Each structure stands twice: as C-alpha cells, then as structure tokens.
Structure 1
C-alpha cells in the first residue's frame, strides 16, 4: 500500500505596507490635524492634506502612478465630499459633487491632446516610420564619432516634431544607436557608447523645452494655463520662445560630452555600413509610412499656423489627423493595432493631475498657499526676472525628488500660477507660466528624474555618476542661459 506524502502548505509571504505610503498617510493626517487658519476654508485645508499625500507618494514612488491617481481620486471624493461648501458653510459638498471635482480633468482638452499624441506615437512605432526617420538622418549626417553624436541630436529634434512622447522617442532611438555602437565594435562601457546614450537622454529633455507637443508636461502646463489664466500659448509661439534655447543647449551638450567624456577615437570603421545595412533591411518606404508622413507634416503645418491662417486649436487638428490615420483602407492602423501600444496609465495620471490642480483652486487652497508663499518669501519685493530666477531654481531643486515631470507639474504648477496671480506689478503671467513650464523639463542630473533617462540607463552604457557629471553643468548652464533669455530675448517677445 502506497503512502501518500503530503507537503505542508507554505503560507504566503506577508506583503508589508510600503514605507513611503505609510509616511504619506501620516503626513496627510498631520496636515489635517493642524489648526485651521481663519482665511482658509475647510475644503481647502483638506485639499492641502491631499496634496501633501500626493507629493510624498510621488517622490517615494511607494505605489505606481496609476494606483496613486486612484487613491487621490478616492481621497477627494470622501474628504471634500464631507466638507462644507465655500458658498454656504452649512451645506456639505456631498460625494457626488466631490467625485465630479476629482474627475474634472478628464473633460479637459489638454487630456484629449495627450491621448491623441500617444496614438500618433503608437502609429509611428506601428508603421516603423520613426525608425526610418532616425536611420535616414544618421545616414545623411555621417558616422564619425562627432557626427554620430550630432546625428543623435538631429534625430531627437526631428522625432520631437512628429512623435509627441519623450519615452516613445527614446525607446525608438536607443535600439538604433545600440546597433550602431555594436557595429562600431567599441566596448559598451566606452566613452563613445556612454556619450552617445547620454546625448540621447539629455537631448530628449532639452527638446521637451523647445516643442510644445514633445512632452506630456508641456500639454499639462497648457491645460493649467487655460483653466487658471483663461488663455494659452500657441504651438508656434512656444516654438519661437523655446527652440533657440534648445538649439544652443544642444551644442552645449555635445561640447560637454566631448570634453568630460572624450571619445577613444574619432574614426570608427563600420558605422556607415551598419546604418546602410539597417536601411536596406527595412526596404523602401511603405504606403502606410508615406500616408503617416503626409498626415504628420500636415499636422505640423496646422499647429504652426494656428491663429495665423486658421482658428482651429491644436487638439482639434490632432483629432482630425487621427481620423485620417484610422480610416478604413486609407488609414495606417486599426484600434486593435495600437491599443496595446498606448500607455493608458499616462492618460489616467494626466487626468487626475489636472483634477488635483483644479480642486486646489476650486477650494481656494491654491490661492491661500500662493498668498502665504508671497507673504513669507519676499517675492513681491523683486522684479519679474527675480521671480523667474527664484521659482525656476525652486523647480530645478524639487525635481531631484520627482521621477515624473508630469507629477511635478500636477503638484507644483497650480501653486506657482497662484503665486504669480498674487504678486503685484504688471508682468505677463501667461508668459511666466510658460517659462516655468520650460524649467519643469530639467531632468538632467539624476537618471531617475525622467523616463527617457531610465530607458537609456537600461543599456548599461553609462553609470549614474557619469550621467550626473554631464547633467550638472548642463543644468547650471541651461539655467543661466534661461536667465539671460528672460532678460533679453523673452523680454523682447513680451513673455516677461
């Protein structure tokens, strides 16, 4: 008779509460227990507690951004839902009104533009047009070490115009550049490989400043402009303001990489052949790629001529382009083709980010905090250039704690706009908001500060120390150049 051997069940390992989430909850409760200032509504007090919770969760990355978005929505629903309204303190908001406040960001045109931009990025990847643009550019620029580094910047600029997602751009360029590095036969840990990848990462951040549709945080900034200031900056005006800075900083980046990480050789055999081989492998341009290119160029023209030749906003023209791309027979993709390529979590976080900023204003928390900042920092004693210098430096420093520029924009920009609205004096608050939006893209020092940095770090061609060695002077020079632009070029354009 065979005896049945039973193995004892191993109890599942207990999942501990992330320390960052525990700290966030304690900070939120701590803010709620603070005495209520006489000039701050109860709902505003509670929104500041929710903001504190969000900032700690985002900085510590205790949970995913998507999970944090759902948590923030629930907190607004219950904490604001049980708070008295600003209009009549004897009446509470109710959970229905509060959840509507928590979801108001999903009806914002900026969110629709982000979703549309993600579809265009997915279409680029689906058809392979982004890869073709990168390879053709590299073939034209040349394949010496310096030319490859210049080519990486040129590819970044071109893709920034037609691929409205920093992560998608880097995910496209990185495999191509790794293929070129492998064809060169140089060591993966060489200065050449490290320099090329750092240029891809930091060049992407630089051009997030130059082009409005290049990054989600720019579109979030535009959304806050429209909500809080009743106006926004057109695509062309953003380009005119930001592109000259980005062009200069692109040259600075290449010079710094060549100086701080001098390449072992300037002449590398096999590079040109590798690019030509990759181009031969992908074959001639397909019909879908030609149609996508036509739509992309058309969108660029429509974005650039908004308010000049027509009055259709960027979101509307983008969706018209999407209709063409999704048309049966003529289009280049179906919903099934691209739905798995869309980072839907980004859309959720973006929507909740706008809702958080809107709720801070609706409950007067943002205005109250802005007034406190002005009253206690002496910002009202300095001119517009001083205000930009101080708030810009603050954003650069606090970005060191954030792994997402979108999260940083959601948490800080509504407060900074409230500060600008509180400040006395006659200066362009819309322009100042755009310029502070430029500074949000400063993810140059730590790899964790931007998704494209992490994509490039994953190639194991450089270390965090090497990245910071280049990124620190890029940050300092970029900041000083912005101050120079603020005192001259941006002043002449009327943005200060």
Structure 2
C-alpha cells in the first residue's frame, strides 16, 4: 500500500509542476501582450514574441510534450496574427482566416521538407537492417572499444561534410548508422551508449558543417552579407583555414565530454573482434532490400554532393529518395509500414517552429530584438574584445528563438554587420566577429528543437531534452572557451582577428 502511495506522489509531483509551468508561461505571454508596444515594434511582432516566450519555456522545461507544443504553437500564432493589424500596418485586424496560412508557413518550407524526408529515410533504411551491416563494418574498422567507436562516428561526420552539403542530409545518413551501432551492443537506444552516440549524431552534422564553406546552407549566405556590406570576400579556402581547425578542436572536446558524462555499460563490445566477426557472418549476404536501399542512398548522396552541377535543391532530392524507397518494385517498404515507423511529433514540431521563426522575421520582431540587443544597449562604447564577447552572449540567447540555424543567422547577421559597420572603427575585426557568430549558432546544441539534425536524432527516441542539456551546457562552456582561445592565438595569426 505504501508503495502505491509513494508512486502516486511521485506521479502527482511532476504533473503539478508541469501544470504550474504552463500557467506561468501563459502569464508571461499575457504580460507581454498587454504591455505597451515599444517604439519600432508592431503589435503583431509583440504578440509573436509573446508566443515565442511561452513556447521556448515549454521546450526547455518539457512541461507539455513536443507534439502538443507544436499544435499549441500553431494555434497561438493564428490568434496572435489574426487579432493584430497586418505586419507594419494599422487599422483592421488581419483575421484568423488570413492568419492560418501564415501560421502554417513552416510546413511549406524546404527545411521542414528536408527534416520530414530525413526521418522517413532513416525509418525506411532501418527497416531493411542495412544500418546493422554498416554498423558492424564500422566496428570491424575502428575496433570494439566504445571510445574508439565514438571517435569513429566523429571521423565519419567529418568525412561526410565534404561530400554532402547539407547538415540535415548528413544527419539523415548518420542516424541510421548510429542506431545500428547501438543495436550491435544489444542495448536499447536509451542506454548510456545509445544516448551518447545519438547525441553525437545530432550535434556533429552542424559542428562539422560550419568548418567548410559548402558544409551548411548559412555559410555562403553570411559571406554574401559580408560582401554586400563592403567587407573582404571570404573564399572557400579562407573559410576552411579560419574555421575548420576550430571545429576539429571543438569535436575533440565533444568526444572527451561525451565519453565522460555517460557511464557506458561496456568498455568494449562483449566478445570483441570475435563477436563482430560472428555477427557479420550471422547477417549473411546482403538481402535484395539492403541492396536496393544501398543503391538508393548512394544515388541520393551522389545527387546531394553534386547539387552545384544539376541545381536540384537538396530537399527535393530527399523527397525523390523517399519516393524510391516506397515505390513498388523498386523500394524497400510500404507507405503504411513507413507511416508507423516515422516520428510525427518531430515533424509537427519542426514545421511549427519554422512558422514561428518566419513570423518573427516578417512582423519585425526579430529586427526589433536585434536592435534592442545590439544598438540600444550601448554596446558600441565597449572595447573590441568586450564588444565581441557581448555580441556572442546575445547570440547565445537569441539562438533559442529559432528552430532553424539558417533562419537565425539570416535574421541576426544583417543587424550585427550593420551595427559593427556603423561604429566606423577600423580596429574592429568585423569578418572575425561574424564568423564567430556562425560558430556559436551552429555549434550551440542545448535543446533538440533548435536544430534540425538534433531533431532527427531525437526522433530516434534514444535521448531526452534533459540528456541533451546535460551534454550541451558544458559543451557551450567549451565552445566559448575555445573562441576566446582562438581570438588571442590562431585567428590573429591567420589575419581573421586584429
């Protein structure tokens, strides 16, 4: 009887806390909505910021499930936009009928399409068992030691960066392999080994991508912003020299952090090389489904890697891959089976999050936040080092407002560059500060919803938001520490910092 009472109290406690968190979030939202509109901020922008405050609190505390938060976000956006004048205007309300397509705009975004297709690809591939075969081959190559396997995942992520010019595509390639590695240990995905490996698969694609100009979509966009502001052109080799060494050192820090924070169930795969050889023999020759999946994935990777030649957008290639995987006579899985395997909560959440980011930009909320953070804060009077540090701190908090790294950098980079240029200080390393902002936005990994690759890994069901925060918060400290180190050592040496 006492056991039942104790269990009931444990269940009631967290439930009460979550309910209170939701009430607090709603109170904060209403307070922001009812507050007088600041100069330069439209009513629609103010209300979208209020919605953002509520949703970010829900994401961080997990007071409501992610799928529920996605539906709540869409509903709140409809209300916020519908009961506001058109963005930048006054007069009559926009109306909920016109607000609906705006609140659902994220679901027509190529980034959302890429995430949805990536989750579908991972689900289809794991249905064939191909990921297990690849996993055992990787185990055979790097050895059976768990730390060696973790290092092998990092090497794989870096290698893929030069061939797959999309962080989401790399995540969609890496996650199924990691799932196979976890299952090779005979452990569930939420085991200590499984959590660590899936977290690496969710974090590494963005980290390695920022080190190569063609490794992530925001990189060339930021180069265009800098060039448009009259700053020196940053070429492929320049970007590689400036940022690739940082990503290597940062990944080494990630490796040591992950291998120490998580207490692995095994120091080495039980049975070692003999076990691996036995499992490879047990799998036997490749099945027809595995061969088809291998061919489809090889074709997809080839198309991703050659997008500069054929000019077909990467998300469109991903849709083609999913089509081939379910196409009768060609594919490896039926639509009904694929439907059961996909994590629809993640797909809903990412689409709703992109909608919020787009509405934040369209209503002027993002521009107003940037202005308040950079211009009106009086940061212009600080020394070069202090100014750079303050910008980096602001970017840390702004990053939580976006589920898309591209959306985040597209929204804040012009404001940062404009602010720095307006200071007319020849000693300001404007290019260096902007590239460091790119590092922060792409290496910061604290909650899954702020990163598409992390959402793909999160959709595999191996780790929770708390697990990611446990790794991501100290990783953020390492990130900022390394930036400070590079500011005073390597970057002045290569001419990126003065």
Q: TM-score, normalised by structure 1?
A: 0.71
Q: Which moved more, 1:30-39 or 1:146-155?
A: 146-155
Instruction: Decide whether aligned partners of structure 1 residues 89 and 475 sit closer, same or farther in structure 2, where only a CA change above 3 A counts.
Output: closer
1:370-429 CA distances to partner (integer Å, 9 max, x unpaired)? 111112444556799877654544565798xx8xx9758699667645743652429569
* Contact persistence 1:299–1:317 (CA under 8 A): yes
2:8 maps to: none
Instruction: Decide whether aligned partners of structure 1 residues 418 and 319 sit closer, same or farther in structure 2, where only a CA change above 3 A counts.
Output: same
2:201 maps to: 204
Instruction: Decide whether aligned partners of structure 1 residues 479 and 124 sit closer, same or farther in structure 2, where only a CA change above 3 A counts.
Output: farther
* Contact persistence 1:135–1:176 (CA under 8 A): yes
Matched, 1:425 2:433: no
* Contact persistence 2:132–2:177 (CA under 8 A): no
Q: Which moved more, 1:118-127 or 1:406-415?
A: 406-415
Q: Number of aligned residue pairs: give it.
A: 448
* Contact persistence 2:82–2:97 (CA under 8 A): yes
Instruction: Decide whether aligned partners of structure 1 residues 153 and 40 sit closer, same or farther in structure 2, where only a CA change above 3 A counts.
Output: closer
Question: Within 2, Cα distance between the matches of 1:493 and 1:61?
Answer: 44
1:117 maps to: 118
Matched, 1:312 2:312: yes
Deviation at 1:31, TM superposition (A): 0.9
Matched, 1:435 2:436: no
Instruction: Decide whether aligned partners of structure 1 residues 220 and 261 sit closer, same or farther in structure 2, where only a CA change above 3 A counts.
Output: closer
Deviation at 1:64, TM superposition (A): 1.3
1:345 maps to: 345
* Contact persistence 1:326–1:334 (CA under 8 A): yes
Question: Within 2, Cα distance between the matches of 1:242 and 1:117?
Answer: 27
1:3 maps to: none
Matched position secondary structure for 2:310? coil
Matched, 1:81 2:74: no
* Contact persistence 1:430–1:495 (CA under 8 A): no
* Contact persistence 1:135–1:279 (CA under 8 A): yes
Question: Within 1, Cα distance between the matches of 2:473 and 2:70?
Answer: 31
2:303 maps to: 302
Matched position secondary structure for 1:91? coil
* Contact persistence 1:137–1:154 (CA under 8 A): no
Matched position secondary structure for 2:120? helix
1:355-381 CA distances to partner (integer Å, 9 max, x unpaired)? 111111222122111111112444556
* Contact persistence 1:28–1:53 (CA under 8 A): yes
Question: Within 2, Cα distance between the matches of 1:391 and 1:124?
Answer: 42
Instruction: Decide whether aligned partners of structure 1 residues 362 and 155 sit closer, same or farther in structure 2, where only a CA change above 3 A counts.
Output: closer
Question: Within 1, Cα distance between the matches of 2:83 and 2:462?
Answer: 46
Deviation at 1:209, TM superposition (A): 2.2
* Contact persistence 2:143–2:149 (CA under 8 A): yes
Instruction: Decide whether aligned partners of structure 1 residues 289 and 347 sit closer, same or farther in structure 2, where only a CA change above 3 A counts.
Output: same
Give the alignment's Cα RMSD to 1 decimal: 5.0
Matched position secondary structure for 2:185? helix
Instruction: Decide whether aligned partners of structure 1 residues 179 and 172 sit closer, same or farther in structure 2, where only a CA change above 3 A counts.
Output: same
Question: Within 1, Cα distance between the matches of 2:101 and 2:278?
Answer: 55
1:442-473 CA distances to partner (integer Å, 9 max, x unpaired)? 579xxxxx776996679xxxx989x96x8776
Matched, 1:24 2:21: no
After TM superposition, the structure 1 = structure 2 runs for residues 250-265 of structure 1, keeping only pairs within 5 Å, are 250-254=251-255
Structure 2 portions without partners, runs of 5+? 1-11, 165-169, 229-233, 423-429, 449-453
Question: Within 1, Cα distance between the matches of 2:32 and 2:173?
Answer: 36
Instruction: Decide whether aligned partners of structure 1 residues 264 and 437 sit closer, same or farther in structure 2, where only a CA change above 3 A counts.
Output: closer
Instruction: Decide whether aligned partners of structure 1 residues 251 and 419 sit closer, same or farther in structure 2, where only a CA change above 3 A counts.
Output: same
Q: Which moved more, 1:265-274 or 1:338-347?
A: 265-274
Deviation at 1:27, TM superposition (A): 0.3
Question: Within 2, Cα distance between the matches of 1:83 and 1:268?
Answer: 59
* Contact persistence 2:444–2:472 (CA under 8 A): no
Question: Within 2, Cα distance between the matches of 1:81 and 1:236?
Answer: 48
1:140-160 CA distances to partner (integer Å, 9 max, x unpaired)? 222356545544545666899
Question: Within 2, Cα distance between the matches of 1:311 and 1:371?
Answer: 36
Instruction: Decide whether aligned partners of structure 1 residues 44 and 457 sit closer, same or farther in structure 2, where only a CA change above 3 A counts.
Output: closer
Question: Within 1, Cα distance between the matches of 2:315 and 2:393?
Answer: 31
Instruction: Decide whether aligned partners of structure 1 residues 68 and 169 sit closer, same or farther in structure 2, where only a CA change above 3 A counts.
Output: farther
Question: Within 1, Cα distance between the matches of 2:207 and 2:398?
Answer: 22
Deviation at 1:311, TM superposition (A): 1.5
1:330 maps to: 330
Question: Within 2, Cα distance between the matches of 1:323 and 1:164?
Answer: 15
1:280-301 CA distances to partner (integer Å, 9 max, x unpaired)? 2222112222222222222222
2:45 maps to: 44
* Contact persistence 2:143–2:273 (CA under 8 A): yes
1:4 maps to: none
Instruction: Decide whether aligned partners of structure 1 residues 258 and 76 sit closer, same or farther in structure 2, where only a CA change above 3 A counts.
Output: closer
* Contact persistence 2:104–2:355 (CA under 8 A): yes
Matched position secondary structure for 1:70? helix
Instruction: Decide whether aligned partners of structure 1 residues 350 and 149 sit closer, same or farther in structure 2, where only a CA change above 3 A counts.
Output: closer
After TM superposition, the structure 1 = structure 2 runs for residues 358-377 of structure 1, keeping only pairs within 5 Å, are 358-377=358-377
Matched position secondary structure for 1:38? coil
1:138-192 CA distances to partner (integer Å, 9 max, x unpaired)? 0122235654554454566689976517765554432323569xxxxxxxxxxxx
Deviation at 1:102, TM superposition (A): 0.6
Question: Within 1, Cα distance between the matches of 2:80 and 2:262?
Answer: 52
Q: Which moved more, 1:86-95 or 1:126-135?
A: 86-95
Deviation at 1:88, TM superposition (A): 4.3
Structure 1 portions without partners, runs of 5+? 1-12, 181-192, 445-449
After TM superposition, the structure 1 = structure 2 runs for residues 93-172 of structure 1, keeping only pairs within 5 Å, are 93-144=94-145, 147-151=148-152, 153-154=154-155, 164=172, 170-172=178-180
